[in-house]
Amino acid sequence: MALNKGKHLVEEIDGVRCTVVEKGITPERAQFLKKILELNGYEVKTAVEADPATMKLGVTDILFNAVIDVYERRLKSPSGKKITPAYWLQQSNQETEAEVNYWNKD
């Protein structure tokens, strides 16, 4: 599921019901996401789609929602920093920004 889509998809991958994190992705993208998700304690399943150049990636936790976990900063990078949406989408190498919030704490 891309970060701009909140629809929760559950499909079977390798005989296990999984929440689909992303579909139609390259093997490199699948490896990037797999590393992050496994580091955060999720069991990851991948499958090659009809087009051999694309993959489907899911986690066995059917309550997982990438949109919520990324925007609430629940996921950690390999270096232990919080993952930003830009890092998740591989638009930036910067794992976290200095306390970027959508509200003021004052």
Domains of the chain: total = 1
- 2 in any annotated domain: no
Dist CA 58 CA 46 (whole Å): 6
H helix intervals, 5-101: 27-39, 66-71, 85-88
Which pTM was predicted? 0.85
Confidence label for 57 from pLDDT (cuts 50, 70 and 90): very high
CATH at residue 33: 3.30.70
Dist CA 30 CA 35 (whole Å): 9
Range of the domain at 74: 10-88
Please state the rounded mean pLDDT for residues 36-53.
Answer: 95
How many C-beta neighbours within 10 Å does residue 103 have? 5
- 68 in any annotated domain: yes
- 104 in any annotated domain: no
pLDDT digits (tens, 9 = 90+) for 71-95: 888 999 988 889 988 899 998 776 6
What order of strands is seen across the sheet that includes strand 55-59? 10-13, 16-25, 55-59, 44-48
Q: Is the dihedral of CA 45, 19, 86, 48 positive or negative?
A: positive
Dist CA 70 CA 51 (whole Å): 28
